[in-house]
C-alpha cells in the first residue's frame, strides 16, 4: 500500500442488496495488499460509526476504503469531516445499487482493480456540498443533493431487497405516477432562480444519480462549484420521449430545464 500510514476498510455487507458483502467475500482472501489493514464489517449505522470513530482516532490512519454504494461513501465522508480528518484519503470500491460517484470519477468497474486503485492510487481533490437546515442540522453530500421527486424514488428503492439494473428506472416510473410537486423558491448565489413547483432540483458535484441517470452531465468534482439542474413539472404523456433525454444527459438542452453553476443554493418551500 502507498505511504507509511495505516488503512481501514469499511464494508457495508447489505449495500446493493447484499452485493457489497458478496464482493468483499471474493476480494478479501486473495488480496495481499490488505495485509495489516483494519476491516470494519457492519450493516447497522450505529455500529459502523462507532468503529469508524475508533479508526479515525488513530493519527497514523492514512486511507479509508469504502466497499459499498453512494450511501456508504457519503456516511464515511461525513464522518471524516465531522472528525476533522481531511488528511485521510477516501477510496471507493463500487458495490452498491447506484455507485454514481464512482462513475463520475471513472473508477474501475472490476472490484479487484478498484480495490487496488483505492489502496495504492494517488489521492485527488474532491469538492463537498454542505447542507444546512433551518433547525441547525448539517450534512455533507459528495455526489448529488436533490429535492423533489428524487426523495420519493429513494423510498421506493430502499424498500426493494433485491436491486438490479432497472431498479431505479422502475422506481422513477412508480414515483412519477403519484408524485405531486410542491411550490418552492430557489435562490442561486443570492439571486432569484425559480419560484414554483418542480419535479426535481439537483445540486450536483458528480454527474449522475439513480444508477447512471446523467442529471448534471457537465459537472466537475473539483471546480468549487455545484451544477444546479431544475426540472419543472411536465405532462405525464410526454415522459416516454423525455425520459431517455434525462437518462443520457441531453435534458439540459431543453428550454424548460433551468441550469446554473453556483457556490450557494437556497430552497424556500412555499407550502408545508
pLDDT single digits (tens) 120-131: 999 999 999 999
Class of domain 130-269: mainly beta
The residue with greater pLDDT, 178 or 78, is: 78
Q: Where exactly are the structural domains of the chain?
A: 6-124, 130-269
Q: Is the pLDDT of residue 272 over 70?
A: no
pLDDT at site 149: 74
Q: Give me the DSSP letters along 59-115.
A: TTEEEEEEEE-HHHHHHHHHHHHHTT-TTSEEEEEE-SS--HHHHHTT--SSHHHHH
Indicate the CATH number of 6-124 among 2.170.150.20, 3.20.20.10, 3.40.50.10330, 3.40.50.450. Answer: 3.40.50.10330
pLDDT at site 162: 61
Interacting residues of 176 by C-beta distance below 8 A, sequence separation 6+: 149, 236, 239
Q: Is the pTM of this model over 0.85?
A: yes
Q: 177 falls in which pLDDT band (50, 70, 90)?
A: low
CB 175 within 8 A of CB 153: yes
Amino acid at each position: 500500500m502507498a505511504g507509511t500510514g495505516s488503512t481501514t476498510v469499511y464494508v457495508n455487507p447489505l449495500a446493493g442488496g447484499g452485493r457489497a458483502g458478496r464482493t468483499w467475500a471474493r476480494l478479501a482472501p486473495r488480496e495481499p495488499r490488505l495485509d495489516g489493514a483494519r476491516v470494519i464489517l457492519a450493516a447497522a449505522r450505529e455500529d459502523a460509526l462507532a468503529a469508524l470513530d475508533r479508526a479515525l482516532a488513530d493519527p497514523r490512519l492514512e486511507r479509508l476504503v469504502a466497499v459499498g454504494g453512494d450511501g456508504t461513501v457519503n456516511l464515511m465522508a461525513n464522518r471524516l469531516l465531522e472528525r476533522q480528518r481531511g488528511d485521510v484519503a477516501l477510496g471507493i470500491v463500487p458495490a452498491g445499487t447506484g455507485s454514481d460517484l464512482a462513475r463520475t470519477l471513472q473508477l474501475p468497474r472490476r472490484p479487484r482493480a478498484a480495490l487496488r486503485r483505492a489502496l495504492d492510487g494517488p489521492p485527488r481533490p474532491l469538492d463537498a456540498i454542505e447542507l444546512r437546515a433551518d433547525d441547525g442540522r448539517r450534512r455533507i453530500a459528495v455526489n448529488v443533493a436533490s429535492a423533489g421527486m428524487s426523495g420519493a424514488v429513494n423510498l421506493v428503492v430502499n424498500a426493494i431487497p433485491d436491486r438490479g439494473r432497472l431498479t431505479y428506472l422502475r422506481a422513477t416510473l412508480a414515483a412519477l405516477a403519484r408524485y405531486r410537486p410542491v411550490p418552492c423558491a430557489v435562490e442561486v448565489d443570492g439571486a432569484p432562480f425559480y419560484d414554483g413547483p418542480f419535479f426535481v432540483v439537483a445540486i450536483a458535484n458528480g454527474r449522475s444519480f439513480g444508477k447512471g441517470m446523467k442529471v448534471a452531465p457537465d459537472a466537475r468534482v473539483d471546480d468549487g462549484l455545484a451544477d444546479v439542474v431544475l426540472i419543472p413539472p411536465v405532462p405525464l404523456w410526454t415522459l416516454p420521449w423525455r425520459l431517455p433525454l434525462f437518462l443520457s444527459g441531453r435534458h439540459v438542452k431543453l428550454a424548460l430545464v433551468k441550469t446554473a453553476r453556483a457556490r450557494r443554493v437556497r430552497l424556500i418551500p412555499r407550502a408545508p
